[in-house]
Structure 1
Amino acid sequence: MAYSEGWVTERARDGYQHGRASFGVRPERSALLVIDMQDEFTRPGWSPYWVPAATRMAPRLRQLVETCRAASVPVIWTIFDDTHLGLDRPHALQYLPHSDTGWCRPGPAKVWGPMGYRADEALIRKPSYGAFYDTPLDTMLRNLGRDTVIVTGTLTNYCCGTTARQAYERGYKVVVGSDVTATDDESRQEPELAVLRKGFALVLSAEEITHQLIGHASGTRNRANVT
């Protein structure tokens, strides 16, 4: 059988727009990753790296955090920080056009206060975009018995997208929150989600994630009551 250029192009386009991974979101197998919702990116006007879209979606993400807590889904936070004097960052970073403004953080990096980070939840200070790069995240997830990660936070096409790809390569089922991720140029949001949707992750809204978590949790309770 010969496949026409039009057929393969349309098939690819459909995967980017409508592709859907075939696994569900089970609370007992999942962990929520809240990527870099820190002052630099979410506190309005505080730094030249502010991501206004992240500030706008923060209340929705905060609600998802609370949903996960209620469903006994571990919440793991990350911060993009100056670890080990910067010596553990990828060497090539210094050559990239990362819009260095000369701005220096006044004090240690912190999760933005309104996000409601709790001291009894894990916080990873990472040296690069992906949350698995040179961090204990993989070990932490395996110790927790979790094989599914729900990726949220900012920036969608840098730290979130890189984390999603790293998780996929390590054998995790990856969920990406379509409306609980954000980037500094909103025209880049859907193109990044499209790539993740077709090749790396199950892309769902916060409402869809909540529905699956609550639905599975309710089903588990109902089965327990029957037995």
Structure 2
Amino acid sequence: MKNTLKINQFTEQDVLSLAKKGYYEGKATFDINPKRCALLVIDMQDEFVKPHWTPDWVPEATKMVPRLRKVIDHCREMSVPVIYTVFSNTHHYFDRPKSGKYMPIQHSDLGIDSSEFYVKGEVWHELAPLDNEIIIHKPSYGAFHDTPLETILRNLDKDTVIISGTLTNFCCDTTARQAYARSFKVIFGSDITGADDPDLQEPELRIMRKGFARVMSAEEIIKSLI
């Protein structure tokens, strides 16, 4: 598309090209100040990471643990706060969206006893929080909904969140959208987030790239936090 195009001159092909460029090549232009960043480790708990235990196991999340551990360790070295989220038995589960029970994600057709799942909210042992690190027990996909996360970030004087964890296309992307709507700058880890269906990883990254976040690899994130 020519740069000389003016209003009312955009063809269907022009706008399609613009859309594709944003999805595939877009890059948010905000600067990254490590002193204003916080790392969010979304739901890297046993139910999603422990192999073979639950129907919610995300193999891609297990595979990316070593990369995420490097980012966590680097953030700790750089005094970038690491904040975890988990699902657990909060308020006897009455704080969940009421419509959630109708969703296929509940696996109600499997007929298994799930009473041991999402009770303690234990982070996978290889990524265990330090004693002074915050764990947000959230009731729904996004980490900002019905939690003190925004207040915590404001009190820490942070304006940028780095999104990592699982699932890319549920809790991670919802948290990114909620952060964006609250005027936080969002960095979305391309290889430190994992989807239950690997085919959906890149499509979600494209959406993040165009309208919600600066999509970066683990190595790129580490290099930016110096």
TM-score (norm 2): 0.92
Larger mean CA deviation between 106-115 and 38-47 belongs to: 106-115
Q: Give the SS at the match of 2:64.
A: helix
Q: What pairs with 1:157-176 in structure 2 (closer than 5 Å)?
A: 157-176=169-188
Q: Is the 8 A contact 1:20 1:197 kept in 2?
A: yes
Residue 147 of structure 1 corresponds to which residue in structure 2? Answer: 159
Alignment partner, residue 59 of structure 1: 66
Q: Matches of 1:114 and 1:85 in 2, distance apart? A: 28
> 1:91, CA displacement in angstroms?
1.5
- Partner residue, 1:25: 32
Identity, % of aligned pairs? 54
1:88 pairs with 2:100: no
Question: Which range moves more in the overlay, 22-31 or 99-108?
Answer: 99-108
Partner of residue 217, structure 1: none
Gaps of 5+ in 1: 215-227
Aligned to 1:188: 200
* Secondary structure of 1:159 counterpart: helix
Q: For residues 48-96 of structure 1, what are the alpha-carbon distances to aligned partners after superposition, in whole Å with 9 as ceiling and x for unaligned?
A: 1110000000110011000000011000000022311111111211222
In the TM superposition, residue 108 of structure 1 has moved relative to its aligned partner by: 1.7
Equivalence for 1:133 = 145
Please give the alpha-carbon distance, in whole angstroms, between the structure 2 residues aligned to 1:149 and 1:137. 11
TM-score, normalization: structure 1? 0.91
Equivalences, count: 214
1:77 maps onto 2:84 in alignment: yes
For the Cα contact (< 8 Å) 1:30–1:148, is it kept in 2? yes
Q: Gaps spanning 5+ residues in structure 2: where?
A: 1-7
Aligned partner letter, 2:38: A
- Aligned pair partner of 2:223 in 207, 211, 216: 211
Q: Which runs of 4+ in 1 moved over 4 A?
A: none
